[in-house]
Amino acid sequence: MTDVVGRLMRGVFKLLLALALGVFVLSFLLAALVVVLGVSLWSVLTGRKPAPVVMFSRMREQSRRYTQSAQSVWPGRAPVGEVVDVDATVVGERDGAQTPLQRLR
């Protein structure tokens, strides 16, 4: 009899936890929606872009400047995406040099 009551109590407890989690998630989503709507309304009234949009656009611009300056450091380097032909050369072993496999033996 105690086993049935214990399983029933565990089931009720799990149900209450699931219900509490659902309420928490829904309230979090509702709060996020209210914040987004409030920021959007504020940006419409003031005529300015919201701060997160400005921050991400600044980060994107700095990233673009960095990649352009990094490419200008190596002016002789081929642009990304182009194929460069090179002559293949055979590398021979030096006299008395051991290969990594021979060193392990």
* 10-residue stretch averages of pLDDT, the chain, 105 residues long: 88 96 97 91 85 80 76 60 77 64 63
CB 78 within 8 A of CB 84: yes
Q: What is the pTM of this model?
A: 0.44
Question: What is residue 100's predicted lDDT score, i.e. its pLDDT?
Answer: 63
At 72 the pLDDT is 59
At 84 the pLDDT is: 73
**What SS3 string covers the chain?**
CHHHHHHHHHHHHHHHHHHHHHHHHHHHHHHHHHHHHHHHHHHHHHCCCCHHHHHHHHHHHHHHHHHHHHHHHCCCCCCCCCCCCCCCCCCCCCCCCCCHHHHHC
Q: Report pLDDT for 98.
A: 63
